[in-house]
Structure formats: structure tokens, C-alpha cells
Structure 1
């Protein structure tokens, strides 16, 4: 039997859960009209520092408010929403910016005394209302700029309508589903709430999904002056709104993987929709069709008669985001004709880098109704469209149907796992790139279909190159891209107008890699080979995947990229040496260039251990086990001191009993090669003049970054017996026995 839905709204819930209890009580006690009820809240407030008493007070508030109708609670819900809006994300930045301009010295001091953003927002609401309202206006004016990065809208095709409210949603089952889909390591909670219809939006259901993020850490300065590390799992939150009238799921979260996973889980668990058979439609807007024509046909839409549809404005980028050209015409003008007349037959719209804004006017009437109506549609970029804020659900449905018919609204189509496994090596190469932008030519060389990658969420279309590099001395290196009379081809013009021939236009298209989605995809394909999974982002270029069972031990498995970059190598080596208590592990490298070791871990390029079997494992367990057994002793330091080169600028120092040290740059390599040679010759002390001979500096410290030098001084290199001498430090206990500084438990 479905439980009765609580009348307490989501924002009141959040305020009661998170704010200091005295401030919560003050906000809820506010009455801005005689028609608002007096909730009869308790006047005796316990000590906020007493967690048990504070928790009981919060529960008592919820119990008192639950006795009132939703209509009676609506003013308090709206006030709570406003307070929370200025305490989250950039809301507190907006509030702070306005208070700095408007508050006097005494008020500013009181505002700064508040312990956290939520308390600051509540204090401003209670004490400086006009300033609070000014900050709201400022926040709303800027919020749309960042909206697209955190927001996705999906449409779900249901065979039959589902009568749904928050009380009919099994929160525990949905939480379990989301936990499984997102492979979360900690419990996930789901709170379902009803959103009543407003003048702008139909009745909806809101889900608040709270889950733990990847393990992270911060340095902690302790009372005794020593520095430690606190490991914690940051709280993440996703908000989902389902509107039954238009069968639309909207999700706001900071990760595209979370957005899709939460939306799909809700569709399956709450709506009974088989996502594998009918994937959710992921709304994206592709404006490239307007390169060939600015005219629109009149499609047939059930229930409507479309009498006219035309583009009234089009804005394009000219080589960069900072240069734009806007063409805007009157309602009775033909924008195509105007563009050809004033911008010449081969007008600039046909070779635009990309469209940043298109405005469309539609004239229509509903079948059986002779009233002529108009609908204005404005699309900005790949995610933003004004239809979402249209108050009329019928007009929203009509607008999206028209965009679909014109090929502007594109749908997300999850790439099948078998297809992803087939292009896994190419995905790894793409992920190893330093730049986020990639050309169509590079994708063609990799054998990847850009359109399919965009539909799968791995790429976004950016624009078109206007300058290319030509590998021809006669062309002068750089050449300009010009339109040609041949369809699908562009002309290349070098210095002094020299003709460089034709190139496929598709090769000149530019795309942006969706890093988060690509990383999740690559890591997800690697997980089947693990015995234990433990997704943890240690660095933007290094992740802990879990462990494999080798010779009866759990061997940590990591995934690293950009090991062709010397700064990345140095940073990750220092990080991995700090984690030596984990034992010898395997770092899977996205590229083939780089060191053979990072800290106490051997580096194995992914391309060198690909599986040839027919199972789902992309990497060969046998190859990884062989590499581990062969190189484990060197990862622990080997039998004798030595420097092993893995390139002209990269090498690894091995000292028995010590964690391996990655060396980057010719100077670092030369310094330790000389120290190792002196150690083996029986005269370990090397005069600094001899040590630095030919290196252009006077001290070995100058060859290292400060943080790296601090981590190796008196560990791998130390002062000799005489002043002005350096030596290799070789006496140490085995790496696997090195005691790690105690750390706090994760919180």
C-alpha cells in the first residue's frame, strides 16, 4: 500500500536538515501576511552543539509542519527555496558580492561572523531583506550562463500513461537501483516530493538523490604542529524532476554519468520503462543544417496545421568565440534571400565555424480551431532552448516536435558495450591527448565516427578550423581555409595566395572531448578484469580502479594518462611514493611513452596487454600477471642501485629497499647516473663541481621542483661526509616494510 505523501516541501526539508536550529526556527516563524498560519513552533531551543537534542528538535519541527496542508506550507516552502538558492553553488558568491556593496561596517561584521554559507543566507534574509532580494536578482541574471553544464533533459516514451506521485515511489528500491547503476561504494538515499502545478509548470515530482563522491583528501595541520592527511568522501547530490504531462525527466548534477544513470534508473524503477529497448531521448541541438540552407519546410505534426516557419535571426562565430556575426530580419523577409543578396551567393553562413544562436518564428493553428497562433523558438548552442521555459505545455510539445522534424533536436543513443569494446584502443588514445579539442581528420585516422561519438555523449561539436598547418615547405606552414565550389570540400590557400588544393570539409570540423564521460567509459570497460573495484580519482591524470588477485595477494590497479608529459610524471611519481604502504601495484598507461615505474608501481601500457580472447575482458590477465612477477623486484628497488632509461628525458632510479624514483629531464638523469656510478665504484661521495659538470647549474637542487626536492632530499640523495659533496643514500628497510605516517579514518 502506497504511503501518504508528506505535505512538507523539498526546500523546507533541506533547510531543517542542514541549517542551525535557531536560524531554522526563525525562518519558519516568519509570516508575511495574516492569511499565513501560525505553526506554533516551540520557543525553547536546545543547545545547537548537542547533536542528540538538535536532531530531536529537527524531527519535532517536521512533525509539527506535517500537520498542515501543502497550500498552507507553500509560503514557507518558497522562502526556504530562496534562502537555499543563495547558499548553494554561485548563490553565495552573488550574495557576498551584493553585501560587500550595500552593508555598513557593523552589518558586514555580523554577516562575516556567520559560520557557513547557509547561515549567511538566512541571516541576510532575516536582517537585510532588501540586500537579500538584490542578491537574488543578481544571481538569477547570471545563473543561466552555467546551467547547461550541469543540466540534461530526457524524454521517455511510455506505452501507457503512469499515474505517479511521490507517495507511489519506492524510495529504497530506487536508491538500490541507482547505487547499482552508478556502482557507488556507499549507501545512496532518495527523497521523493510532489511539486504542485504553477502558472509556469505542470505538476511534477522531485527526487533528491544524495550519494557519496570519490574518496578525496585534504592536508590537516594538527594541534601539535604536525601535518597529517584527512581522507573523506564528499557528499554529492543530484536533483531529478519528472513532469508526467510532458513525459520529461530533467536532471541536475555535476557529472554527465550521474545525470544519465539517475534518469535511466528512475525511468526503469518508477515508470516501468525498459531503457535497453527504448533509450531515453537526450536533448541536444544541432544547428549545422543551417549551413546548407536557412529555409525551413512545413512538416506535418499531428493535431496542428503549420502555415509558416522561417528563421528570423542567425548568429555565427567567426573563427573564435569572441567574434560573432548576427543577421536579423523582419517577419516578412526571407533570410536566405537577404543573406545571398548582401553577403554574396557563397555567403559566410555556409562556411560558418558554428551557429551560436538561431531564432525561428512559427505560424500555426490547432486542428478544429481557426485561431491563428505564433510560436517563437530560440536555440542557443547545443543545450539551451527557450521552449523549456514556455508556460504552455502544448506549445512546448509542438516546438520539440518541429525541432525533431527539422533534424535540429538530436537524441542521445548509448553506444552498445560490444561496440565500445571494439573501439577501446581508440578511446584510450583519445583520452591520452593533452588537448580537449580534436579535429575530424584525427578522428578519421583513428577510425571513429564523430556523429556516433556525439550521440553517445563522448564528443561535442565545436566549430570548423579556419587555419591549418601544411607539411610543405613551399606553402609556408600555415594555410587559410576557404570555401570551394565542390560539395563537401574546402579550399586551402597558403601564403601569397598559393593554392594548396582541396580538403574534405569533415576533416576540418573541430570537436571537444567530453572528458568526464570518456573517462567513465574507459574505466568502466576495464572493471571486469578486477576482483575488487574501488573507483577513486587520485589526480586528474590518475585513478585507482581496484585490485587484481595475483599470487594470493590483492594487487592495486591504477589507470594513468599523459605520461608522455614530464610534469605529469613528476607529479604522479611524488603522489605514488606517498602511497607506498599500498604495496607494489600496476599502473595501466593510456600511452606507450613514459617511465617504467611510478613510485612502488610498475607501468604497463594498455596497448601492450590487450586480450585476444573472445570473452568480455579487454586486457589479458596472464600478460598483467607476467609483467607483475617479472618487474616486482625492481619496483621494490632491485638488487643493486641503477638508473634505467625509458627515453631521452625519462628514467627510473632503483635502490634496494626503497621505492623507485621517476627521473624527468636530462639533468636529473645525469645527476643520479653519476651518483650510482660513484656508489658502485666504492667512492660514494661526489664533489658538487664534478656532479654538476656540464649541466649549467651549481646545485642538484636546481634540477628539481621544490616539492620534489623536499621529498627526495635525505631519502635518495644526501650530503656527503665533507662539505660540498653529495652521495646516493642506499641504506633503507625494504619498501614493503616502510611505515606510513598514521592517517585519520575516512569521514
Structure 2
């Protein structure tokens, strides 16, 4: 007989096996919420000198915990993982650094008395929780440069250097400033900590900003069997590091708006920097220029004479970012000649997915100084460069000037509001795409400038297409992209070696859409429509923006994308019908096609109702009012059951007193067409054979996804009075108890 798998996770096991037994028991016995079970762990920890008794006690802990399932053990497993993280590798260094600054003398003595890193981590968790949590933030901050999508670096152009430490930061004033800038609904807290200099980084200041996230909700199954909704505000955190020596602000947070807002608030409040007059410089390193050549010219930089500049190291990724190729040469080698000699003229560097590392050696001297100097610049990816930690301010200035002259350093520039308004239609179309990558050709067709969007943070370069489709003489196929020798153009060659002609290289470039920033930009331009703003992401394709006022009542406003996709429509319609307590709302759709309703909400295609020439909201308030008043009766179900089509594969069922139901696909539409027709004829029951005639299935259930079917059964469709019959559920035929069981309550 197979042994039952243990529900105990690896981190709990590690804690029981490795930690001092009294501390391990204390952690596992801790409860941080009423929903956590009481494990009733054995009392009476044995004497530490009795190894046999200690081992027996450990086994007893395992036996008791094994009686619980994985869900009940998950909180203890997560706590154990956090504790082990600060006890291993650099985790204990982070914990010790914060403990030195925050613990009292008595606490420090007790902390140092612990026998090993694991015991110190457990002791801090149990006795100095705030210090433990700040150490977690510090530990994460030391690693967050690897998290590209969560990380940004800004440079502050101060008139003079400011000697700043954590004691000079007014934490309360900065918290109020961040609360104002981010328009937070609840107050945030700021904690400043000094970071000592290390071999890799100069002395810095770390700020831990803790704030509430957008209001969210989860479904809760009540003890009485009914379903309710728990509303809560999740805790969010942003970590900022300011390095005075290089005047650089680094921020890690899950939202680009939060990263930029926190950085700007810190620059204004703590550094006295006027962001409105001189915005922060957002650093990005673009290495795509090395596709065409690994050689560097010698630019003119005021105050310096550049005598030589060459690439000595180039690392590329092959196919994906787990495979890499590194070419490294001596200082007197020409890396391009070496690449062409050993990797052939059409070498892999021109076809790589992307550059992950470039090493540059620069020989120079300062004007008026005959001393020859050298500067090594190493760029790793799009956001990291060793110049950031160079202690010589003159070398940092020279290095960044060279990167700018070579077109490698691209600074963030906030796109002018007028330009954003002019390109709003194109930004909505871009945001409505299924894929996260977009070609330069598609951007050109939309009339968008990739460089402007990159500088504005909306796009990132992701390499170049190696294969394109060609269509010649009524035959299509794939063609490889080759260098042409003509600046700005690439040559295409089909599978038989036939020349496919030239194409603009810019059209073949690939870019990745920064979804978070693009979403924030589009939603931000819709805010003038609202009287109450409530940023709440319900689904990756659906957000609650807030509310507006129509006819004296507050009407919820949503934003949805990808409503051209039938699966997305089905999923979002189900979500909206489950949260219909807010009444009839308006869904601003990024799609030009799609259903007329999502749940009890009117869908308004944005691109058909734009007003981009004059000042004011990008969508006139009058358009909202007209759509709302015109469609309000049907959003409430209408006066009689009916099926209204909005496309060949899309329709909506309207039943008095019920939220409209979106139908996707011809089978679903046909089924409800027949049910509505039967109801109107006075004989509502339809035999299943007649209902499914010509549809290729035996039951209406097979036309719907499982979750959708569960949400509509006995609400929109039910079995008839006789076996083998189905009928439309209307106010006259539905049962009150079935309907009430599906209504959500606020908890």
C-alpha cells in the first residue's frame, strides 16, 4: 500500500530539523489570523542537552502537523520560508545591518546571544517584527536590480551635492507628499535606513514605503453555505535607494506609476529638487546599435580628448535568455574583425535575440593634462551600468556623455499631454492587442514614433525579426533577413536563395509593450470623466475606474479591452454578472467590435466616441449620458425576453429583471433564439432534440464552458416540467430560492 504523501512543506521541515527546538515550536505555534488553525503542538520542550528527547520532540511536531492539510499549513510554510531567507547567504547580513540600527541595547544583546543565523532570524521574527520586515525589504532591495519589470533608475540633476543621511529625511512629511502624489485613499508610512558602503556600491539611503493598494475583493464561502464577498485593501510596498555620490534614485515597486511618483516625491521633499522644472532622468541602455557594427567612433566631449574607444566584450542571447554567447578580445584587437573572421561575415551578433552585456574600453586625457587615462564601461542589459557605482564624478560624467553620443543611453522624457491626446486613439489600439510584442512596421502604420514611446516608457526594444513572410507571384513563404550594405535597409532571401528585395530595417525591429505603464497612461486620460476615482483591476482585461454622475445618480465606469475575443467576452461577462450589486454601469471598450452589454453594464466603444481636438475629456460626457439613457431599459432586462445580435458570433439575451447575458458562438445564439421563440409562442418547454437540431451535440450544456454553464443554469436556462425538455427562465418560471443563492452579500 502506497504511503500517503506528507502535507508538510519543505520550509517547515527545514525549520523543525535545523532550528533550536524551542524557537521552532514558537514559530509554528504562532497564529496571525482567526482563520489559521490551532495546531495544539506538544508543550514541555525537553532539555537541550538530551539529544534523544529533542529528536523525539521534533518527530512529534512532524506527526502533529501531518494531521492537517496543505491549505491549513500554508501560512506556517510561508512564515518558515521568510525566516529561512534571512538566515541564508546574504540574508543574515541584511538582518544584522538593520538590527544594528534599530534594536535597543537590551535587544541587541539578546540578538547577538542567539547561537546561529537561523536562531537570530527566528528571534527577530518573534521579538522584533518591524526590524525583521525592514530587513526583508533591505534584502530584496539588494537584489531588485535583477527584476527589470519592477525596477527603474532615475538621475537627479542637482545644482550642488547634498550631504544626506537617513536622519535628515522627514519621514512624516515625505509620507504625506507620497500620499498626495499617488492619490492614495489611505495614509502611507516611510522608513529611512542608512546603507553603509560596500565594495560594489557607495553609501546610500534606503526608504521603505508601505501603502495600501487598490481596493480588492475575494469570494468567501460562509458557514451557512451561502457565498459572500470580503472587501480588503492589500498591503503594497515600494523600496527606494538614493546614492548621493552618483545622485541616483533607484526604485523597486510593481507599478511604474508608483515608481515614478515615489522617486519624484523624494526628489522634491528630501532633495529640494523641482521636478516640474527639471524632471528626473529615467535611464535606459539601448544596445541594438551593436547589431550593425561593434566599432565605436570618437565623439567630441567638452573638456576631454578621446584617443581610442573600442568594444572588448560582447555577450548575446541565443534563441532565449537561458543561452548565451560571449566574445572577449584583447585591448589591441578589433572585435568586429575577430567576429567576421571566426563567425563569418554574416555573424551571429547581427541575428541575436538581444545583447546582455557590452564591455567598452576608452582611452582619453583631460584638456590641459598630458596624462593618459583609461575608462572601462560595462553595460548589463537595459538598466544596469558600472558607471552608476564609479566613485569618480568626472569619469561618471564622461562615461554617460559617451553613452549618450553613441546613442546607447536613452533618457526618459515624459510625453507632453498634448501629444498624448493626439495619439490617444493609437494608444488604445496598441493596448487592445493580444500580443505584448509589436513590430516597427505596425507602429509606423499606426503613425506612432517608437523612439518617443521608448523615451516615454511605453515600449522597450526587444531585438529584430530574423524571418519574415513574403508574397510573390501568388505564392507565399518565409524569407530570412540579411544585411544589405545599404544604411537603413535589410535584404530578404527566400528558402531557395532567391533575393526577396529590400525592406526598411526599422520595420523589422521588435518592441515589447510596457503593459502597466500603457494601461496607466490610457486610464489616466479617462480620469476627467469621473467624479470619483477608484483604481481597481478586476481582471487583466477589465478595470473599475470609478464613477460619474448621470441624471443625479452615480454610475460605475469600467475599462475593458480585447472584447473582440469571444473567450474574453465570456469570462468578463461572467465576472460582471457576479458583481451586479452596483447597478447599471458603463464599460468603456478599447475594441470597436464586441457585445453591447457585459452583465448589467452598457458597453460603449471608445474609438467611436472620441473628442481629441478640443480641451476636456477625451470622451465627451454627453456620449456617456446618451449611451446610458438609451440602453438603460435593456441593461435592466427590457420589457420582454429577446436575443439581440451584435455580430455573426456575438449576441445578448435580455430577460426582464435579470442582467443581460452575453452569448458567444452560433450554437449559444441558436439555443437561446429557440428558447425565446418558444416562450413567446406560449409553450416555453422545448424538447432537447428540437432545441439541439443541427448543432451536432445532444445537450445545451455542451455549448458553454463549465463555469459559464454553472452560472446560468436555473438562472437563464432550466429543465422543463417533463424529462428531456428545456425552457427559458423568466421572472414567472424561476424560483426565488435558486436566484437568491446566487446573489452576493457584502461581508
Tell me the equivalent position of 1:527: 527
User: In structure 2, do the counterparts of structure 1 residues 390 and 116 end up closer, same or farther at CA, with 3 Å as the change threshold?
Assistant: farther
Tell me the equivalent position of 2:131: none
By how many angstroms is 1:365 displaced? 6.4
Within 5 Å, give how 1:593-632 maps onto structure 2.
Answer: 593-611=593-611, 614-632=614-632
For the residues of structure 2 that align with 1:341 and 1:252, how far apart are their CA atoms?
A: 43
For the residues of structure 1 that align with 2:653 and 2:570, how far apart are their CA atoms?
A: 13
Tell me the equivalent position of 2:4: none
Tell me the equivalent position of 1:448: 448
For the residues of structure 1 that align with 2:416 and 2:63, how far apart are their CA atoms?
A: 57
Tell me, yes or no, if the aligned pair for 1:282 and 1:412 is still in contact at 8 Å. Answer: yes
Tell me, yes or no, if the aligned pair for 2:286 and 2:382 is still in contact at 8 Å. Answer: yes
For the residues of structure 2 that align with 1:130 and 1:161, how far apart are their CA atoms?
A: 41
Within 5 Å, give how 1:462-501 maps onto structure 2.
Answer: 462-472=462-472, 474-501=474-501
For the residues of structure 2 that align with 1:239 and 1:110, how far apart are their CA atoms?
A: 39
By how many angstroms is 1:153 displaced? 1.3
For the residues of structure 2 that align with 1:545 and 1:734, how far apart are their CA atoms?
A: 35
By how many angstroms is 1:184 displaced? 1.9
By how many angstroms is 1:279 displaced? 1.7
> Does residue 579 of the first structure (1) align with residue 582 of the second (2)?
no
Tell me the equivalent position of 2:76: 115
Deviations 1:136-189 (A, max 9, x none): 9xx999957843222211111012333433343333332232223222222222
Quick check: 299-308 or 634-643, which moved more?
A: 299-308
Tell me, yes or no, if the aligned pair for 1:475 and 1:500 is still in contact at 8 Å. Answer: no
For the residues of structure 1 that align with 2:608 and 2:281, how far apart are their CA atoms?
A: 38
SS at match of 1:492: strand
**Structure 2: unaligned runs, 5 residues or longer:** 1-18, 24-28, 34-57, 66-72, 88-113, 122-135
Tell me the equivalent position of 1:55: none
For the residues of structure 2 that align with 1:173 and 1:436, how far apart are their CA atoms?
A: 39
By how many angstroms is 1:394 displaced? 6.3
For the residues of structure 2 that align with 1:233 and 1:635, how far apart are their CA atoms?
A: 30
Tell me the equivalent position of 2:745: 742
Tell me, yes or no, if the aligned pair for 2:415 and 2:456 is still in contact at 8 Å. Answer: yes
By how many angstroms is 1:207 displaced? 1.7
For the residues of structure 1 that align with 2:510 and 2:561, how far apart are their CA atoms?
A: 22
Tell me, yes or no, if the aligned pair for 1:609 and 1:624 is still in contact at 8 Å. Answer: no
Tell me the equivalent position of 1:165: 165
By how many angstroms is 1:50 displaced? 11
Tell me the equivalent position of 1:99: none
Tell me the equivalent position of 1:655: 655
Tell me, yes or no, if the aligned pair for 2:422 and 2:612 is still in contact at 8 Å. Answer: no
Q: How many residues align?
A: 644
User: In structure 2, do the counterparts of structure 1 residues 445 and 629 end up closer, same or farther at CA, with 3 Å as the change threshold?
Assistant: same
Tell me, yes or no, if the aligned pair for 1:465 and 1:508 is still in contact at 8 Å. Answer: yes
Within 5 Å, give how 1:263-302 maps onto structure 2.
Answer: 263-299=263-299
Tell me the equivalent position of 2:261: 261
Tell me the equivalent position of 1:420: 420
Quick check: 227-236 or 568-577, which moved more?
A: 227-236
For the residues of structure 1 that align with 2:194 and 2:119, how far apart are their CA atoms?
A: 31
Tell me the equivalent position of 1:94: none
For the residues of structure 2 that align with 1:409 and 1:238, how far apart are their CA atoms?
A: 25
Tell me, yes or no, if the aligned pair for 2:227 and 2:744 is still in contact at 8 Å. Answer: no
The alignment's TM-score, normalised by the length of structure 2, stands at: 0.79
For the residues of structure 2 that align with 1:498 and 1:109, how far apart are their CA atoms?
A: 72
Deviations 1:481-529 (A, max 9, x none): 2222322112223342333322111111000000000000000000011
Tell me, yes or no, if the aligned pair for 1:355 and 1:381 is still in contact at 8 Å. Answer: yes
Tell me the equivalent position of 1:674: 674
Tell me, yes or no, if the aligned pair for 2:544 and 2:557 is still in contact at 8 Å. Answer: yes
Tell me the equivalent position of 2:204: 204
Tell me the equivalent position of 1:11: none
Tell me, yes or no, if the aligned pair for 2:576 and 2:599 is still in contact at 8 Å. Answer: yes
User: In structure 2, do the counterparts of structure 1 residues 490 and 563 end up closer, same or farther at CA, with 3 Å as the change threshold?
Assistant: same
For the residues of structure 1 that align with 2:461 and 2:32, how far apart are their CA atoms?
A: 54
Tell me, yes or no, if the aligned pair for 1:148 and 1:384 is still in contact at 8 Å. Answer: no
Tell me, yes or no, if the aligned pair for 1:483 and 1:491 is still in contact at 8 Å. Answer: yes
SS at match of 2:338: helix
> Does residue 222 of the first structure (1) align with residue 222 of the second (2)?
yes
Tell me, yes or no, if the aligned pair for 1:476 and 1:494 is still in contact at 8 Å. Answer: no
Tell me the equivalent position of 1:683: 683
User: In structure 2, do the counterparts of structure 1 residues 542 and 158 end up closer, same or farther at CA, with 3 Å as the change threshold?
Assistant: same
**Structure 1: unaligned runs, 5 residues or longer:** 1-25, 31-46, 52-103
Q: CA RMSD in A?
A: 3.5
User: In structure 2, do the counterparts of structure 1 residues 320 and 275 end up closer, same or farther at CA, with 3 Å as the change threshold?
Assistant: same
User: In structure 2, do the counterparts of structure 1 residues 530 and 145 end up closer, same or farther at CA, with 3 Å as the change threshold?
Assistant: closer
By how many angstroms is 1:297 displaced? 3.7
Deviations 1:371-423 (A, max 9, x none): 76654332222123344455766655554343234321211111011111110
User: In structure 2, do the counterparts of structure 1 residues 50 and 493 end up closer, same or farther at CA, with 3 Å as the change threshold?
Assistant: closer
For the residues of structure 2 that align with 1:460 and 1:484, how far apart are their CA atoms?
A: 25
Quick check: 392-401 or 674-683, which moved more?
A: 392-401
Tell me the equivalent position of 2:315: 315
By how many angstroms is 1:586 displaced? 0.5
Tell me the equivalent position of 1:90: none
Deviations 1:692-741 (A, max 9, x none): 11111111111111111111110100111100100001116999x98943
SS at match of 1:217: strand
Tell me the equivalent position of 1:83: none
Deviations 1:39-58 (A, max 9, x none): xxxxxxxx98899xxxxxxx
SS at match of 2:271: coil
